[in-house]
């Protein structure tokens, strides 16, 4: 069909080429790991018994497993939470064996190549303006070498750092709590930067200790405070509904600020004018419930009110700091990857396995958060590992494509 041709459906119309083509997709099922088998002729001397094997075809290469295998294993294991024994069983169904021991060897080797990028990711996360942190329990079957005195539990900490236009996800597994792991990350923060806003819940384990330049501007999760009221809604429907309606206004205002693309100062001014009076009235209401003995302090509602009053300063930081978020929902979404891994695999076998998982999860999820393809990213890091080690800052998920394009032009 040509431009300007008569329309097949109407007598007077003309058809013209559209800028966007129609797409037609046909999907085929294949194994996660495909293999090509080369049969090489062999010759044996009838006198000395020496066997001679024909050379491999050109372009076959010397490595049995290429970089894409490690990338796919990382995506399945640490991106989707698929245990190794399930991957092994799946591959058996395609008659392409990939035993657990082989999977682990491939992942461990790849983790060593990914280490410079992972370390650079942590360094850049330390420079963030807003940092979320949270943790969840995790089991390391073989134990760890850095157990703290009197501490038996192990945890996976999720750190989400907003650094300029980029979002960085870090996973750290061990005996340290979220606040201790964040403090270790912040030791790489450049001198002279303002203290970052730290968003977490009110557990003491999540806060950064008093360490001078490592201090943060603490903000507590408003959703956690709200959740305490929701848990007692059946017994105190009127009081809980009053609080929920007040917080609904605040969240609606925040959504409007995002929808209209307000910059941080404009968002702060908007919250101060629209949400400030609502929160002030709520503060007075919370005080009156306890001081005027309208609520029993030891009841479920009384405890929820006491919690909110005790942490009011941190819960309302969004009314004083331009970058302060309302809650820690972003970190809770990030930590779900570690929870999925725990639900499917139950544990890490060794401390080395935990560090390997942390590296893959951090790189995969950070790539997703920044709109990069994690599979292609992992492959690129491995194939260019020598260059990544020299200049890891050029191989972040948001910059590696430009770096690869520069290499092509230079060649």
Q: Tell me the per-residue pLDDT of 337-365, one tens digit each, with 9 for 90 and over.
A: 999 999 998 889 999 999 999 999 999 99
Length of the chain: 411
What is the share, in percent, of the chain residues with pLDDT greater than 90?
76
Distance CA 329, CA 179 (A): 17
Local structure of residue 208 (DSSP, 8 states): P
For residues 199-207, average pLDDT: 88
Give me Rg for the CA atoms of the chain: 28
- Is the pLDDT confidence value at 106 over 60? yes
pLDDT tens for each residue of 37-86: 888 999 999 999 999 999 988 888 788 899 999 999 999 999 999 999 99
Least confident of 96-110, 131-145, 203-217: 203-217
CA distance 340 to 237: 34
SS3 165: coil
Give the mean pLDDT of the chain: 92
Contact 110, 45 (CB under 8 A): no
Which pLDDT score is estimated for 214? 67
pLDDT at residue 28 in the model: 86
Mean pLDDT value of segment 207-227: 81
pLDDT at 411: 67
* Distance, CA of 332 to CA of 221 (rounded, Å): 11
Comparing 139-153, 212-226, 397-411, the range with the smallest average pLDDT is 139-153
Q: What is the pLDDT of residue 146?
A: 65
Place of tokens 């066997």: 51
What's this model's pTM, rounded to 2 decimal places?
Answer: 0.88
Give the pair of three-digit tokens for residue 333: 């979404």
Separation CA 319–CA 219 (nearest Å): 11
Is residue 134 classed as helix, strand or coil in its secondary structure? strand
Please check whether residue 338 is in contact with residue 136, taking contact to mean a CB–CB distance below 8 angstroms. yes
User: In 196-307, where do the E strands start and end?
Assistant: 197-200, 217-220
- The answer to whether 35 and 95 are in contact (CB under 8 A) is no
Structure tokens, 31: 């194994």
Run of H or E including 155: strand 155-163
State phi, psi for 184 to the nearest 5 degrees: -65, -40
pLDDT the model gives residue 195: 92
Nearest CA to 91 among 99, 83, 82?
99
pLDDT in tens, 133-160: 999 999 998 766 666 666 788 999 999 9
- The answer to whether 318 touches 221, Cβ cutoff 8 Å, is no
Say what the pLDDT of residue 211 is: 43
What does the pLDDT read at residue 346? Answer: 86
Q: Report in angstroms the alpha-carbon separations of 329 from 87, 231, 257.
A: 32, 18, 18
What residue ranges do the domains of the chain occupy?
69-218+333-411, 222-327
Cα dist. 352→39, 81, 135 in Å?
A: 38, 18, 19
Q: Which DSSP state fits 95?
A: T
66 φψ region: left (φ > 0), alpha (ψ -120 to 50), beta (else): beta
Cα-flanking dihedrals φ and ψ of residue 197, to 5°?
-80, 125
Q: Are 331 and 140 in contact (CB under 8 A)?
A: no
> What local confidence, expressed as pLDDT, does residue 298 receive?
92
């Amino acid at each position: 069909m040509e431009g300007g041709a008569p329309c097949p459906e109407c007598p007077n119309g003309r058809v013209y080429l559209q800028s966007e083509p129609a797409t037609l997709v046909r999907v085929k099922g294949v194994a996660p790991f495909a293999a090509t088998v080369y049969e090489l002729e062999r010759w044996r001397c009838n006198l000395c018994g020496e066997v001679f094997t024909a050379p491999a075809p050109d372009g076959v290469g010397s490595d049995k497993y290429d970089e894409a295998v490690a990338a796919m294993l990382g995506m399945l294991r640490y991106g989707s939470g698929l245990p190794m024994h399930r991957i092994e069983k799946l591959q058996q169904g395609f008659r392409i064996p990939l035993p657990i021991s082989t999977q682990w060897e491939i992942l461990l080797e790849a983790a060593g190549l990914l280490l410079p990028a992972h370390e650079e990711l942590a360094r850049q996360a330390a420079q963030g303006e807003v940092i979320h942190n949270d943790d969840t329990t995790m089991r390391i079957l073989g134990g760890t070498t850095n157990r703290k005195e009197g501490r038996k539990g192990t945890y996976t900490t999720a750190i989400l750092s907003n650094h300029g236009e980029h979002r960085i996800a870090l996973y750290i597994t061990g005996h340290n709590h979220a606040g201790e792991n964040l403090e270790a990350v912040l030791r790489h923060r450049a001198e002279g930067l303002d203290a970052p806003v730290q968003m977490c819940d009110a557990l003491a384990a999540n806060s950064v200790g008093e360490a001078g330049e490592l201090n943060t501007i603490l903000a507590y999760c408003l959703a956690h405070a709200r959740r305490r009221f929701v848990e007692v809604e059946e017994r105190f429907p009127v009081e809980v509904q009053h609080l929920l309606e007040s917080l609904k206004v605040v969240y609606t205002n925040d959504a409007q600020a995002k929808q209209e693309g307000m910059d941080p100062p404009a968002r702060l001014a908007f919250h101060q004018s629209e949400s400030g009076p609502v929160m002030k009235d709520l503060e007075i209401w919370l005080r009156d419930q306890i001081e005027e003995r309208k609520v029993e302090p030891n009841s479920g509602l009384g405890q929820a009110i006491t919690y909110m009053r005790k942490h009011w300063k941190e819960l309302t930081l969004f009314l004083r700091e331009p970058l302060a978020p309302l809650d820690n929902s972003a970190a809770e979404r990030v930590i779900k990857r570690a929870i999925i891994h725990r639900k499917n695999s139950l544990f890490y076998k060794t401390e080395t396995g935990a560090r390997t998982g942390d590296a893959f999860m951090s790189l995969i999820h950070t790539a997703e958060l920044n709109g990069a393809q994690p599979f292609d990213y992992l492959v690129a890091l491995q194939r260019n590992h020598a260059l990544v080690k020299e200049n890891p800052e050029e191989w972040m998920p948001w910059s590696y494509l430009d770096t690869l394009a520069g290499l092509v032009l230079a060649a």
